[in-house]
Amino acid sequence: MMNQFQTGDSIGSQGQFPLTQNVTVVEGGTANLTCRVDQNDNTSLQWSNPAQQTLYFDDKKALRDNRIELVRASWHELSISVSDVSLSDEGQYTCSLFTMPVKTSKAFLTVLGVPEKPQISGFTSPVMEGERMQLTCKTSGSKPAADIRWFKNDKEIKDVKYLKEEDANRRTFTVSSTLDFRADRSDDGVVVSCRVDHESLNSTPQIARQVLEIHYTPSVKIISSSSWPEEGQSIVLTCESKGKPLPEPVLWTKDGGELPDPERMVVNDPNALAGQTGPDHALIGGIVAVVVFVTLCSIILLGRYLARHKGTYLTNEAKGAEDAPDADTAIINAEGSQVNAEEKKEYFI
């Protein structure tokens, strides 16, 4: 940031006179100091610091400071640069034109102190609804004093006071601001921002953020599918509950006792896990039908198996007695014909 060139203290006299300009630079940057003369009859120019120490006399360096360099030296101009500028470099610099008498012009070097990144303190998570909250935002090292602004999400909070303290040694400021309010359930999840604005930041503010976590008691309401249901008509009651932490599962009662048919009640808890549903009665009925069918089929197959073995025994017994003259011979014939018995088995289908 620079002003127009200004003349020295002999502006009303005849002849040549030096021209300088004020300079503003951010701490750590580079300052360029320029002194010009419109008319010069081979007269020397000189730059001096606020302590009146000579920095450059024409193109000759007088002060041993590696940060100071010559930019341009001629009969009409003497320009120098000061790199890595510190706050202690701030002050009034003098350009001298060695005429009779000596003519001078002043240039003030302003050094801006960059504020440190802000920090938010005072928040302990979680906070119960209704409790008072005090959030403090603090930043140091600014020169001049930085400005602090508060936001909830994107909405600025007005009328917030701030305190500034000056460090006399460094000539910088520590700025703090406290946001005082009562926690409300609407503040849960809100992003509180502390924004620091300063001319050294080139329109890019420094921001600290804090996400609020507010706990609050549950609220419950019942919604009916019909305002005036008729006798025998189905009705769906929905229980909506909201709170933080998440409420316990919903318990339904009727007149203080258990419901006669709780399966007919539909419960909707917004805080329940997504996709969680009640039992599928159609699926259960299908499973039961399959089990009954398989059981009946097993009984029928078992009966046929028993009947089949009983028929085989009777047929073999008859085969042994078919051509025997007496009972003993029939038994012997039955035992001896076991090899061929397989060919004459009778099966009941």
Check residue 184 and report its DSSP letter: -
pLDDT of residue 122: 93
Q: pLDDT tens, 247-290?
A: 777 778 888 777 655 444 444 444 433 444 445 566 777 787 77
pLDDT of residue 264: 47
254's CB contacts (< 8 A; 6+ apart) are: 260
Q: Which amino acid type is present at position 334? A: A
Q: Which residue has the higher pLDDT, 318 or 130?
A: 130
Residue 32 is inside which H or E element, if any? strand 31-37
pLDDT of residue 266: 47
pLDDT of residue 323: 57
Query: Exposed/middle/buried for 240, CB within 10 Å: 0-12, 13-18, 19+?
Result: middle
Pairing of β 45-48 and β 91-97: antiparallel
174's CB contacts (< 8 A; 6+ apart) are: 138, 139, 140, 141, 164, 165, 167
Q: Which amino acid type is present at position 233? A: Q
pLDDT of residue 111: 97
Pairing of β 103-112 and β 23-26: parallel
If pLDDT is split at 50, 70 and 90, which confidence band does 206 have?
Answer: very high
User: Residue 31: which of 77, 80, 74, 75 has the closest Cα?
Assistant: 80
pLDDT of residue 279: 52
pLDDT of residue 337: 46
Q: What percent of the chain has pLDDT over 90?
A: 49
- The overall average pLDDT reported for the chain is 81
pLDDT of residue 315: 45
CA of 180: how far to CAs of 124, 135, 267, in Å? 14, 7, 41
pLDDT of residue 13: 39
If pLDDT is split at 50, 70 and 90, which confidence band does 297 have?
Answer: confident
Average pLDDT over residues 95-114: 94
Say what the pTM is.
0.62
Q: How far apart are CA 99 and CA 17, in angstroms?
A: 9
User: Residue 264: which of 233, 242, 286, 287 has the closest Cα?
Assistant: 233
Average pLDDT over residues 46-68: 95
Crossing angle of helices 327-336 and 281-320, in 10° steps, is 120
Q: Which two tokens stand for residue 99?
A: 């005429």
If pLDDT is split at 50, 70 and 90, which confidence band does 305 have?
Answer: confident
Q: In what order do the strands lie in the sheet with 77-82?
A: 6-7, 18-20, 31-37, 77-82, 68-73
Q: Which amino acid type is present at position 313? A: Y
Highest mean pLDDT among 45-49, 154-158, 303-307, 328-332: 45-49
The answer for 171, left when phi > 0, alpha when psi is -120 to 50, beta otherwise, is: left
Tokens 């609804």: give the residue. 129
Average pLDDT over residues 35-43: 86
Q: pLDDT tens, 210-259?
A: 999 999 988 888 888 887 877 888 888 888 888 888 877 777 888 877 76
Statement: residue 11 has pLDDT above 60:
no
pLDDT of residue 310: 57
User: Residue 75: which of 98, 102, 44 has the closest Cα?
Assistant: 44
Asked if 127 and 156 count as a contact pair (C-beta separation under 8 A), the reply is no
User: Residue 211: which of 252, 255, 151 has the closest Cα?
Assistant: 151
Say what the alpha-carbon torsion angle 292, 295, 296, 301 is, to the nearest 10 degrees. Answer: 160
pLDDT of residue 296: 83
Residues 153, 269, 280: CA angle, nearest 5 degrees = 140
Q: What percent of the chain has pLDDT over 70?
A: 77
